[in-house]
């Protein structure tokens, strides 16, 4: 089975946020950016069907979103999925920032970057609230580990 947890390709959460910003800036409009985000979701590791249950579901999302976390040597790795293509892409974007980081770095990385990149404003209100709920769920899990 393929490891469902996202491994970071950027050295830090801040570097991931900067890289995502640069990548989104390559596109002229939000339709192209949405397509890019959808492709990010399609490139994520497969999420096990056994985890698509209420115990893994993120509350506050219009679409169904599931997250799982594991800790390896003090580093937190996340796996995620959604039943909606654009939301899968948003999950991928969040996991690129947060997965494969120590709890302290996750907690120090404010989800305000979602607004700074224009993502929350470009989404419907429900989707914007949902992506913020995903970021809260990730940070809550990190806080539980760091406690």
- The answer to whether 61 is a known catalytic residue is yes
- The residues facing 70 across adjacent strands are 77
Phi/psi for 80 (5° steps) reads -155, 165
**Tokens for 41?**
């979701």
Catalytic residue among 61, 67, 79, 134: 61
75-82, strands of its sheet edge to edge: 65-72, 75-82, 101-102
User: 83 near 49, Cβ under 8 Å?
Assistant: no
Nearest to 53 by CA among 71, 41, 65, 70: 65
Catalytic residues: 61
């Amino acid at each position: 089975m393929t490891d469902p947890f996202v491994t970071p390709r950027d050295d830090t959460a801040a570097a991931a946020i900067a890289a995502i910003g640069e990548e989104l800036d390559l596109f002229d409009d939000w339709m192209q950016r949405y397509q890019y985000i959808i492709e990010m979701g399609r490139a994520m590791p497969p999420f096990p069907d056994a985890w698509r249950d209420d115990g893994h579901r993120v509350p506050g999302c219009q679409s169904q979103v599931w997250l799982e976390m594991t800790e390896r040597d003090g580093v937190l790795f996340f796996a995620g999925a959604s039943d909606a293509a654009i939301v899968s892409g948003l999950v991928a974007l969040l996991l690129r920032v947060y997965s494969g980081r120590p709890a302290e770095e996750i907690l120090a990385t404010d989800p305000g970057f979602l607004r700074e990149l224009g993502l929350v404003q470009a989404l419907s209100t429900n989707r914007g609230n949902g992506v913020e709920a995903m970021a809260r769920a990730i940070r809550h899990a990190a806080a539980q580990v760091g406690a």
